[in-house]
A and B are shown apart, each in its own frame.
Chain A
Amino acid sequence: MAGKVKWVTDIEKSVLINNFEKRGWVQVTENEDWNFYWMSVQTIRNVFSVETGYRLSDDQIVNHFPNHYELTRKDLMVKNIKRYRKELEKEGSPLAEKDENGKYLYLDFVPVTYMLPADYNLFVEEFRKSPSSTWIMKPCGKAQGKGIFLINKLSQIKKWSRDSKTSSFVTQSTKEAYVISLYINNPLLIGGRKFDLRLYVLVSTYRPLRCYMYKLGFCRFCTVKYTPSTSELDNMFVHLTNVAIQKHGEDYNHIHGGKWTVSNLRLYLESTRGKEVTGKLFDEIHWIIVQSLKAVAPVMNNDKHCFECYGYDIIIDDKLKPWLIEVNASPSLTSSTANDRILKYNLINDTLNIAVPNGEIPDCKWNKSPPKEVLGNYEILYDEELAQGDGADRELRNRQGQALGPKGGRSRDSGRTVLTTWK
């Protein structure tokens, strides 16, 4: 196809623009004929909204799914996962198996969460069962750690109960809705510090599900030593790993930015904990990402003009169990250090190679199946079509007691992770 790709963006970040320019693409405005639009989440709302939206033509691609918020809003993500689990349970799927305490064996990867004010009473019931627990309050619609706080007493969230009792007919605007989750107060510590994992996952289509995981994720460390002591509940430097927060700490270091690569983490864990448990941990991480995507796949508007690169936040506890904290639709493209800039530049580069094959003017009718060579630092996390092709040949092995842990999510070093499907 002749002609250069015309691009638009409303996010002025050099890692993006440099990537477009190096491909020889042409910058245009959104009113002109464009092929590729890297848009912010506000803009995507407009493009697909009922009133102001417009139809995209076959040679136009955007970087968000219309209703990505089903995955990226904290309350909706939890709702979708809960619904998914119930469905599996109803079907009698072995994935939904529970242990003797009623906890899901394979699908318990989100900390207990309630919406406030809607589930306030349910929450109180749960809170009373373990009154010494700590909970974390997060506003549904915000990011970068804004508005988050920890509580360990009911009195600290009286506000949400009072409102729900007195104004039952007044619906809270969605912006003021909060989720409250059980706080993981036994995170895995390294050097005495808490950290979380940021992993990038690219989804090119939801039905069939095709997703890729970026091999170069990283860990974000807190600058201050972790302590579960109640006197430090207010100290966000101890508890929140967001760089946006840690940046303002006294000890923040601008050279390494408090980050480790995932391969570093792997080396450390293999050396101190052993190869099997480390392998199992990473398998589980892959598993929970795929499950979360499967959970929202049925409700996602699988618009063929869309792809999306998510930022997954995961915390590992001291029993080496990973927990999904949240998914970001618009992971930060700001670079805090030189290494960071390189990483994000390469991330966009590899993403564009997969989403816009050969750098040519896109055609939405293509089968979204890029050849292996263009993957760059991505590796296939799950390809539903491929899995279904093999599924007929695979036995449904009984996984209980198998050292492999959850359903064969195996990532070999050669870089292909393919899960079996039970459907």
Chain B
Amino acid sequence: MLQEESDLSLIIAQIVQKLKGSNLYAQLERQAWASLQRPEIKLESLKEDIKEFFKISGWEKKLQNAVYSELSVFPLPSHPAAPPEHLKEPLVYMRKAQGSWEKRILKSLNSMCTELSIPLARKRPVGEQKELLNKWNEMGTDEPDLSLFRPVYAPKDFLEVLINLRNPNYENGDSLSFRTHLGLIQVPLKVKDIPELKEFFVELGLTTGQLGIDDSTQVPPELFENEHVRIGQKVLAEQDSAAAQQYIRQGSPTALRAELWALILNISSQPEDILYYEQLKTNVIQHDLLVDSLIYKDVKLTASNDDYYFVFEDYLYQVLLCFSRDTSVLGHFAYNSASPPKSYIRGKLGLEEYAVFYPPNVAPLCFLYHEPSKLYQIFREMYVRFFFRLHSISSHPSGIVSLCLLFETLLQTYLPQLFYHLREIGAQPLRISFKWMVRAFSGYLATDQLLLLWDRILGYNSLEILAVLAAAVFAFRAVNLMEVTSLAAAEAVLADLSTLKVMPLLQIFLFATVT
């Protein structure tokens, strides 16, 4: 159809435009020039021969991966006359909400600055720079006085904002019907129901082998695991992003995970990347931001006390401090409803936006990558592709608003008794599960389980699985939850998730529950 074709050519044009500015383009150009020396390249059939050469040498694959990567993050085609804000976030009331949330954060930061008479940003004196450089690998052992710093906001505050979101064009009507949504989120976004989820997550079905289930010690490895590992190695050998993404839906073997994730996120460690990281590091050394202290405090409170992640405390500081100064992250704002505060445009300051993320998202990655610049790249890519959606208000199906709504809808529709009971005792389920979803379960699940879950996030290019898992956890503990009589007791039942096995829970909830 004509519309689709012109959409497609528009997309192609835009991707080409984007890739032309990338490193890959320069490399391909160099390769093409170099290939002219080769005997098989003939002048008459120059174009065909070079294409053939690219195919054989693996450069075509790299290009394919880059295109695939762009497609994953590409916003849906839209009306040509739509203004840029529309591309970021089509719903006006969402944009407004995000805007006022950002203003609130900024205001809070500014007032903290005035209160403590600390500038938002300042250049470090040389002595201090040297000191920080020496301490770079051990920032965890330094204990500056952080008692005066308050976290800018807690997940609870963010949840309150989400709860108060309303679509001004939507009239609910005064009468309650059994269709009324009784959860906390009151915006009419479209979320998938279980039949749709079953289709979306078809590879998680009961008849398909999974890592996290079919690799347990009782199952002989010949049945699934060995073959799966073999296929994984083949995918890596082919260096095919799309295949890797499909493959990882069934989970990644531990030994292959680091490479598979890098392949799917299309990250290769070029010298330029290492240089970039070093530049960011220099930036940290030279300038001190208020956010740094907030990051420091947050890591100290969370990761350092965690059974698994305390070992990597120092890596976390390095990655997060650099991240707060990374301008290339700006690129993702094209498809994020958030916009950087105006102070960024003045040039020097970091993105206040990043005062509000949750460090534990980095920590599980430390289990896979121990080289700082690679760790940094992976983290950055995961953030700009997925995790930022957990911290900003948007209508995207993977945005936190949709996830909350999906969770509540699943619970209300498929576990109505539990849902009503919890509501009655003043324990709205979302109040408990919000903190899990906003951190992508990091810090709540055992590390190996968390990595299996994140495998699927990458595989399906969506965060919806977080909401499904949250609902599955409630379903699993339903019997105990039915007996509690207070919010505190409900919290206690759900306090410890560290023994849960993620994949069986998901499978049972999606495919084995009688609906």
A interface residues, Cβ below 8 angstroms from B:
190-193, 221, 223-225, 250-251, 253, 255-256, 258, 260, 263-264, 267-268, 270-272, 274-275, 278, 339, 413-415
- Determine the chain A residues whose CB is within 8 A of the CB of B140 once the complex forms: 251
Residue of A191, A264, A339, A413 near B314 (CB, 8 A) is: A191
B74 within 8 A of A: no
Contact, CB under 8 Å: B366 / A264: no
Bound CA span A413–B370, Å: 27
Contact, CB under 8 Å: A192 / B253: no
Residue of B305, B313, B447 near A191 (CB, 8 A) is: B313
When C-beta atoms are compared, the residue in chain B nearest to A223 turns out to be B141
- Determine the chain A residues whose CB is within 8 A of the CB of B306 once the complex forms: 256
Residue of A256, A274, A414, A415 near B307 (CB, 8 A) is: A256
B313 to chain A, nearest CB (A): 7
Contact, CB under 8 Å: B217 / A260: no
A-B contact pairs, 16 of them (CB 8 A): A192-B314, A224-B138, A225-B138, A253-B304, A258-B310, A260-B311, A263-B448, A267-B367, A270-B254, A271-B257, A271-B367, A271-B368, A272-B367, A272-B368, A275-B253, A414-B217
Contact, CB under 8 Å: B312 / A256: no
Contact, CB under 8 Å: B308 / A264: yes
Bound CA span A274–B253, Å: 10
Q: Please, what's the 1-or-0 string for B440-466, where 1 marks a CB less than 8 Å from any CB in chain A? A: 000000011001000000000000000
B335 within 8 A of A: no
Contact, CB under 8 Å: A271 / B217: no
- Determine the chain B residues whose CB is within 8 A of the CB of A413 once the complex forms: 217
Contact, CB under 8 Å: A271 / B314: no
- Determine the chain B residues whose CB is within 8 A of the CB of A225 once the complex forms: 137-138, 141, 314
Contact, CB under 8 Å: B141 / A271: no
B440 to chain A, nearest CB (A): 18
- Determine the chain A residues whose CB is within 8 A of the CB of B367 once the complex forms: 267-268, 271-272
A273 to chain B, nearest CB (A): 8
Residue of A191, A253, A258, A270 near B315 (CB, 8 A) is: A191
- Determine the chain A residues whose CB is within 8 A of the CB of B138 once the complex forms: 192, 224-225
B62 to chain A, nearest CB (A): 24
- Determine the chain B residues whose CB is within 8 A of the CB of A274 once the complex forms: 255
When C-beta atoms are compared, the residue in chain A nearest to B258 turns out to be A271
- Determine the chain B residues whose CB is within 8 A of the CB of A264 once the complex forms: 308, 447
Bound CA span A413–B255, Å: 17
Which A-B residue pairs are the 3 nearest by beta carbons? A191-B311, A413-B217, A275-B255
B455 to chain A, nearest CB (A): 12
Having A251-B141, A414-B217, one finds 16 other A-B pairs with CB under 8 Å, namely A190-B311, A191-B312, A223-B141, A224-B138, A224-B141, A225-B141, A260-B307, A263-B448, A267-B367, A268-B367, A270-B254, A270-B255, A271-B257, A271-B258, A272-B370, A415-B217
- Determine the chain A residues whose CB is within 8 A of the CB of B312 once the complex forms: 191
When C-beta atoms are compared, the residue in chain A nearest to B370 turns out to be A272
Contact, CB under 8 Å: B447 / A267: yes
Bound CA span A95–B104, Å: 71
Bound CA span A191–B375, Å: 13
- Determine the chain B residues whose CB is within 8 A of the CB of A414 once the complex forms: 217-218
A189 to chain B, nearest CB (A): 10
Known contacts: A225-B138, A268-B367. The answer to whether A253 contacts B448 by CB under 8 A is no
Contact, CB under 8 Å: A271 / B305: no
Known contacts: A191-B315, A225-B137, A225-B141. The answer to whether A339 contacts B307 by CB under 8 A is yes
Contact, CB under 8 Å: A260 / B141: no
When C-beta atoms are compared, the residue in chain A nearest to B448 turns out to be A267
Bound CA span A270–B229, Å: 13
When C-beta atoms are compared, the residue in chain B nearest to A413 turns out to be B217
Q: Which of A191, A224, A263, A278 is most buried by chain B, counting CB atoms within 10 A of its CB? A: A191
A107 to chain B, nearest CB (A): 29
- Determine the chain B residues whose CB is within 8 A of the CB of A221 once the complex forms: 310-311
B379 to chain A, nearest CB (A): 15
When C-beta atoms are compared, the residue in chain A nearest to B221 turns out to be A413
- Determine the chain B residues whose CB is within 8 A of the CB of A251 once the complex forms: 140-141
Q: Which of A192, A270, A271 is most buried by chain B, counting CB atoms within 10 A of its CB? A: A271
A250 to chain B, nearest CB (A): 8
CB interface residues, B 323-381, toward A, < 8 Å: 366-370
Contact, CB under 8 Å: B255 / A191: no
When C-beta atoms are compared, the residue in chain B nearest to A258 turns out to be B310
Contact, CB under 8 Å: B255 / A256: no
A53 to chain B, nearest CB (A): 45
A249 to chain B, nearest CB (A): 10
A380 to chain B, nearest CB (A): 15
Bound CA span A267–B450, Å: 12
A272 to chain B, nearest CB (A): 6
- Determine the chain A residues whose CB is within 8 A of the CB of B369 once the complex forms: 272
A216 to chain B, nearest CB (A): 13
B317 to chain A, nearest CB (A): 12
Bound CA span A258–B304, Å: 10
Contact, CB under 8 Å: B258 / A272: yes
Residue of A193, A260, A270, A415 near B308 (CB, 8 A) is: A260
When C-beta atoms are compared, the residue in chain A nearest to B218 turns out to be A414
- Determine the chain A residues whose CB is within 8 A of the CB of B255 once the complex forms: 270-271, 274-275, 278
Contact, CB under 8 Å: B305 / A256: yes
Q: Which of B307, B310, B367 is most buried by chain A, counting CB atoms within 10 A of its CB? A: B310
When C-beta atoms are compared, the residue in chain B nearest to A256 turns out to be B307
When C-beta atoms are compared, the residue in chain B nearest to A264 turns out to be B308
CB interface residues, B 230-266, toward A, < 8 Å: 253-255, 257-258
CB interface residues, B 265-312, toward A, < 8 Å: 304-308, 310-312
- Determine the chain B residues whose CB is within 8 A of the CB of A191 once the complex forms: 311-315, 366
Contact, CB under 8 Å: A192 / B137: yes
- Determine the chain A residues whose CB is within 8 A of the CB of B307 once the complex forms: 255-256, 260, 339
Q: Please, what's the 1-or-0 string for B136-171, where 1 marks a CB less than 8 Å from any CB in chain A? A: 011011000000000000000000000000000000
Q: Please, what's the 1-or-0 string for B196-232, where 1 marks a CB less than 8 Å from any CB in chain A? A: 0000000000000000000001100000000000000
Bound CA span A402–B247, Å: 32
When C-beta atoms are compared, the residue in chain B nearest to A191 turns out to be B311
A88 to chain B, nearest CB (A): 34
A411 to chain B, nearest CB (A): 11
